[in-house]
Amino acid sequence: MGSNRETGPGMSSWNHVGTGCLLLALSILGCTRHAPPPPAAGATPRLQAARVGSTPQGPVTVLLTAELLGYTEPCGCTVELQEGGIDRLATAVRQARQESSASILLDGGDLLTGEVPIPAGRRDQELLRQELLLSLFGELGYDGLVPGEIEAGLPGGLPALDEVLRRHGLTRVQSNLAASPSGPTRESLLLEGGGLRLGVLGLSDPALLTLPAETDRRSPAWLPLTRDLVARQVAGLRGLGATQILVIGHTDRRTARRLLEGQTGIDFWLVAHGSQDTTEVEQVGEAHLLELWTQGRRLGRLELTPGEDPGGPLVPARDPATDGQAAGVQRRIDHLRRGLALLTAPAQEELRQQRASLLTEAEAELAALQRRPPPGTPGSFRWRLVSLGEQVPRDPTVEQRRLAFNRSLVELAHRRTEQAPPPPPGGSRYLGAASCRPCHEQEHAQWLTTPHATALERLAARGKDFDDECVGCHVTGYRQPGGAVLGQLGPLAGVGCESCHGPASRHAETPDEVEMPPAKVDPGVCTACHNQRHSPRFDPATYQPKVLGPGHGQPSVATPVATD
């Protein structure tokens, strides 16, 4: 980030200054704790870091986001998914900064959209979404963004992304580049504040890349993630005087554990890909693994309170989750003790020893939880996830920009000339549920009682009925041969009969000659939309019966016969 950026209320006060490429000595200056191994022969690490100015002594708050996936507001079928939104994020960031004398704001990637490559018909919308999100992140004062496979797979790849980042004063942090970084890219950050020097590495797993042909030659190569590469980068930051090191790893949890095996010098590792909704902090060696949930539903807060020795290890502080963990461990201990009391036969001695070993481990785990100090104790840290639910007010300015973005999508849709692809020769077009009613009146009446019938209306009530990212799961035959496209939905609004049973024009023309597919619907039809991202609790066996009724998977209701 440029050192001349002006700061305002709620914005970062960190003053970034590029230090250029540095050749690092093998000694670890100013820190004797967990010295990492020296670089391999012939592989002296280079490090291009961005430094920041100092702030008053005291706790440092590191604010973290990841896997926003382009969501500007909440999306999902269940109550717990109605969290998030960029307007709530803005409020939460500004409130956190008011509560801390020193704060850092970082993102772990997969920020701009939910899939790559972006369908050609959606690129105009995605450019607007990208501009909205990156301009907001620039105004909030993000200190660094670690790219994920989404950013690498955008049209033009990372070089095109860098142009936008530069325009908004943002810095890309990429520690496993094959080539020397340039433009707004840094291999690492060194952030000074509150008596700490926090070194930040950004590692993006190339195994996640699915680059389209148009970007694979333009995007700088990502080096494979190895323990040796990580150790060299850690040594580099320690050599610059980092007292704590945070790795933002755009990797899954399994890869993070593998890279941390036998590793020294890392204090925290944020899992920024495929993360779970948990506040549990897992310790792997010296490092603490942290996770964030997806779609901007949480803001991570890592609160660091240095002790007398700024380079000393930080221990986790107590929080409400600690009490829950302790209760769970106590239940496990009670269960093991009851089981041991029953293992009295000589033939059970081996099993008894195994259970006794598990009991010893559980008792040690409980003791460690009970020893945790209160939050704010010198030499401690606290990790918590701030839920961006209704309790967080929407920032009014950002809310207006979000609503303006939704309105701009309507204008784009009206200018489009896209047509749905034609059905194959002899194939059927989609007609809409109203065309089924004359012959299937009971089924149609049952469908009208389900949320599927009003799916698009509910989307329209939120102003999202022209968002390509959303519409496909709220209409029938979206972008399918003979189906619907944005701005030309007509009778295909709502999740109608043909969403499950397929296009019906030929059946409607000659019902005796052309039969529809079997009535039983494959669960995969449902999970195309009711997936882990939008319906994490969806179970076909539980929810499919909810759309059934008389004549629709259940016995028909007989129509009374008129009599004289």
pLDDT in tens, 344-393: 898 889 999 999 999 999 999 888 888 888 888 999 999 999 999 999 99
Task: Compute the distance between CA of residue 427 and CA of residue 445 in angstroms, rounded to an integer.
Answer: 27
Confidence of residue 518 (pLDDT cuts 50, 70, 90): low
Q: Which residues pair with 283 in a beta bridge?
A: 288
Element (H, E) at 60: strand 60-65
**Any idea which of 266-270, 353-357, 360-364, 528-532 has the lowest mean pLDDT?**
528-532
* Residues 89, 547 contacting (CB under 8 angstroms): no
Give the residue-averaged pLDDT of 33-59.
43
The widest CA-to-CA distance across the chain, in whole angstroms, is 104
Q: Which residues pair with 202 in a beta bridge?
A: 248
Task: Compute the distance between CA of residue 553 and CA of residue 45 in angstroms, rounded to an integer.
Answer: 66
Task: Compute the distance between CA of residue 553 and CA of residue 520 in angstroms, rounded to an integer.
Answer: 8
Going by C-alpha positions, the residue among 222, 88, 104, 111 that lies closest to residue 164 is 111
Quick count: other Cβ atoms within 10 Å of Cβ 151? 26
Element (H, E) at 359: helix 349-370
Q: What's this model's pTM, rounded to 2 decimal places?
A: 0.80
Task: Compute the distance between CA of residue 245 and CA of residue 31 in angstroms, rounded to an integer.
Answer: 12
Task: Compute the distance between CA of residue 296 and CA of residue 72 in angstroms, rounded to an integer.
Answer: 8
Tokens of 438: 């004359």
Q: Which residues pair with 478 in a beta bridge?
A: 484
Residue with tokens 């000393």: 312
From residue 481, alpha-carbon distances to 120, 428, 465, 522 in Å are 16, 8, 21, 20
How do the residues of the chain divide into helix, strand and coil, expressed in percent and rounded to 5?
35, 15, 50
Residue with tokens 């799916």: 455
Quick count: other Cβ atoms within 10 Å of Cβ 297? 26
Element (H, E) at 537: none
Q: Show the beta-strand stretches assigned E in 224-354.
A: 244-250, 268-271, 282-284, 287-291, 298-305, 315-316
Residue with tokens 């109608």: 496
Sequence-separated (6 or more) residues with CB below 8 Å from residue 106: 62, 63, 64, 65, 142, 143, 144, 145, 146, 173, 200, 248
Quick count: other Cβ atoms within 10 Å of Cβ 337? 14
The pLDDT value recorded for residue 478 is 93
The pLDDT value recorded for residue 92 is 96
Going by C-alpha positions, the residue among 50, 56, 59 that lies closest to residue 15 is 50
Task: Compute the distance between CA of residue 421 and CA of residue 443 in angstroms, rounded to an integer.
Answer: 29
* Residues 255, 249 contacting (CB under 8 angstroms): yes
Helix pair angle (349-370, 320-342), 10° resolution: 160
Sequence-separated (6 or more) residues with CB below 8 Å from residue 127: none
Give the residue-averaged pLDDT of 23-33.
25
Q: Which three-class secondary structure state does DSSP give residue 453?
A: helix
Tokens of 521: 């619907």
Per DSSP bridges, beta strands 244-250 and 196-204 are parallel
Tokens of 391: 């309790």
Per DSSP bridges, beta strands 315-316 and 380-387 are parallel
In angstroms, the first-to-last Cα distance of the chain is 87
Task: Check pLDDT > 80 for residue 45.
Answer: no
The pLDDT value recorded for residue 546 is 83
Task: Compute the distance between CA of residue 504 and CA of residue 508 in angstroms, rounded to an integer.
Answer: 6
Per DSSP bridges, beta strands 188-193 and 196-204 are antiparallel
pLDDT one-digit tens code per residue, 208-248 = 876 554 444 444 578 899 999 999 999 999 999 999 999 99
Task: Check pLDDT > 50 for residue 541.
Answer: yes
Residue with tokens 């950004």: 202
Task: Compute the distance between CA of residue 467 and CA of residue 452 in angstroms, rounded to an integer.
Answer: 18
pLDDT one-digit tens code per residue, 305-332 = 988 888 888 999 987 777 788 888 999 9
Q: Show the beta-strand stretches assigned E in 285-358.
A: 287-291, 298-305, 315-316
